[in-house]
Each structure stands twice: as C-alpha cells, then as structure tokens.
Amino acid sequence: MIEKQSKERRWKKALLTALLVMGVIILYELQEFVSGFLGALTLYVLMRKQLFFLIDKKKLRPGFASLVLLLEVIFVFLTPTSLIFLMLIDKISTIQIDPLLLISNINDFLEVVTETIGVNLFSTDNLSFIPQWGVATVQSLALGAYSLAINSIVMALVLFFMFLRAREFENFLWDMLPFKKSNKQAIIAEASVMIRANALGIPLLAVVQGIVSFTGYWIFDVNQPLFYAMLTSFATVIPIFGTIVVWAPLGITMIVSGDLFHGVGLLLFGVIVMMNIDNMFRFILQKKLADVHPLITIFGVILGLKLFGFWGIIFGPLLLALFLLLLNIYRREYLFYAQKEREDI
C-alpha cells in the first residue's frame, strides 16, 4: 500500500513536471499572442452575464448567442479602436521634424541656462539622437499596428470559443484551482472585480482626460487640438507620468517657438487641471469600482505593461492583487493554524 502511494506520488510529480515544461514552451512560443488571449478573457468577464441572459432567458442556442456577442465586440470595440489607432499612426508618421531647427530653437531658449551653469548640455552632438529616435518611433508604431491586427484576430477567435463553451470553461477553471470552496470563491470574485474595474474605469478616465485636454488645447491655441487630445487619452495608461508626456512637450515646444503666453498657459493648465483630474479620477474610480489601494494600481500597471503590453493596465493590478490575496490565504490557512498548534503544545 505504501509502495503504491509512493509510486502514485512519483507519477504525480512527473506529470506536473511535464505539464510545467510544456506550458513554459507553449507560452514562450505564443508570447506574441498573449495580448489576444488576455483581451479575450477581459471581454468574456465583461460580457458573460449578457451571454447567459441570451442563452437562459432568451433561449438562444449557444452558437448563435456567441456569434451575436462576437459581432457586438467587432463593431462596438474592435472596429472603433482599430480605426482610432491606425489614424493616430498615420498622423504621427506624417509629422515632419527638422532636428537642426529644433536644436537651434532649444539652444536659443536655454542660452541663459547654459551661460549660468557653464556647460552646453544642449549642443548639436548631445541632441543628435533626435533623428534616430524619430525613425525608431515610426518603426515601433508600424510593429504596433501589425501586433494589433494579429491579436485582434486571435482575441476574436478565442473569445468566440470561450462563449461557445462558457460553462465548460468556467467549470474547468473552478476544478483547476487547488483551494477549498471559500478560497476559490474569493479568488474568482477578486479577479472578476479587478478586471471589471480596470476594463471600465480606464476607458472612462481616458474619455474624461480627452475632453479636458481638448478644452485646454483649444483655449491655448494648440495646432490640431483633437489629434493631441486623442494622444492624451491614450497616455492615461502610462503609470506615474500619465498625460504629462503629451501636454508638457507641447507647452515647451510652444515656448521654444516663441509663443510664451500660450506655452506657459498650457503648462499651468496641465499642472493645475489635468494632473489633478488624472490623479483624482484614477483613484476615485479604482476605489469606487474595486476598492483598490492606489499603490496596487500604480505598481500593478508598471508591472503589467512590462509583462503583458497594453493589456497590462488591466492584468498588472490584477496580478498584484491576487498575489496579496494568495499571501493572505496562506497566512490564514497555514501560518495561523501552525501558530495555534504551537501555542496548544
């Protein structure tokens, strides 16, 4: 009997090792499509109630209900997002920058600073990286467009089959979690709330920042205010810095170009209005939707963007929150009882 149990444990370890090795290989080879899988999971969480409503209440067949929801995703989410992204890429790729003129203007503007510190930090040699940076940016945008197209297709395919086998998919996840029922419920609830909070809160914040920034750009006479407002909306996902990466260079460029009044006004508007709205709305939305600590949001986004790309703004905070939840489960389930046993002894 003991020998049989020992053999079963060895087989179990061998099976887990094989699964781990194969899983790592599969993830490594499919890493380009991680965004598609994460996007499908996000949309599934957001739309699962709608799916079960169509199947259970409206008595639609799972295949037809899945197709209806997939069409909704394509026309409501994928198509507008892709068009906006492609429009931004086209706009950015047509921007013509004269690096020598830009360097000359910067040197003129900072002449007083240079004379004060005695070192010319903004010489032509020091700023020679600008042309290379421009080329690298355009190449990065082209790769981003290709990745968006491929991962959109992957997301649509994965999402359709998740809808089609929704209950089987959820039962599989439930069975795979190696915890007792109460802890499984806590983990699933935490994941669902975090995904909903970020998937709904971040686009809402982007819309608010886009409207506010457009107002500021229009007031302070920024060329193409709608275009830069859209860039500002996308910049809301950048951790810590956020929208400052758009309005600060715009303000500085206007000052360097000689438009001191509008440039200073835009910078003040950014510091006083846009930064405060970004911080206030970000933390209020997170607190309202998921009661998330601000540090989890900040460091979760930093972690997520490195690991998952765009979808890291959702799954980074989720990963950090689940880590803390598992840590609390371990403390409650094991450390607490171990300490209690020692005290009883």
- Taking only the tens place, the pLDDT of each residue in 264-290 is 899 999 888 888 876 677 667 666 666
Give me the mean pLDDT over the 8-20 stretch.
84
Report the mean per-residue pLDDT for the chain: 76
pLDDT in tens, 179-235: 788 888 888 888 888 788 777 777 888 888 889 999 999 999 888 888 888 888 877
Domain locations in the chain?
A: 1-176, 179-345
What confidence score (pLDDT) does residue 1 get?
61
pLDDT in tens, 331-342: 777 766 555 555
What confidence score (pLDDT) does residue 51 get?
93
For the chain, percent of residues with pLDDT exceeding 90? 15
Q: Which of these ranges, 136-140, 168-172, 239-243, 299-303, has the smallest mean pLDDT?
A: 136-140
Give me the mean pLDDT over the 69-92 stretch.
77
What confidence score (pLDDT) does residue 202 get?
77
pLDDT in tens, 85-140: 667 666 665 555 555 555 555 555 555 445 555 555 545 555 454 455 444 544 55
Which tokens belong to 61?
């067949």
Mapped onto helix, strand or coil, the DSSP state of residue 222 is coil
Amino acid at 288: K
Q: What is the 3-state secondary structure (H, E, C) of the chain?
A: CHHHHHHHHHHHHHHHHHHHHHHHHHHHHCHHHHHHHHHHHHHHHHHHHHHHHHHHHCCCCHHHHHHHHHHHHHHHHHHHHHHHHHHHHHHHHCCCCCHHHHHHHHHHHCHHHHHHHCCCCCCCCCCCHHHHHHHHHHHHHHHHHHHHHHHHHHHHHHHHHHHHCHHHHHHHHHHHCCCCHHHHHHHHHHHHHHHHHHHHHHHHHHHHHHHHHHHHHHHCCCCCHHHHHHHHHHHCCCCCCCCHHHHHHHHHHHHHCCCHHHHHHHHHHHHHHHHHHHHHHHHHHHHHHHCCCHHHHHHHHHHHHHHHHHHHHHHHHHHHHHHHHHHHHHHHHHHHHHHHHHHHC
What confidence score (pLDDT) does residue 253 get?
81
Q: 47 CB contacts (<8 Å, ≥6 apart)?
A: 69, 72, 73, 163
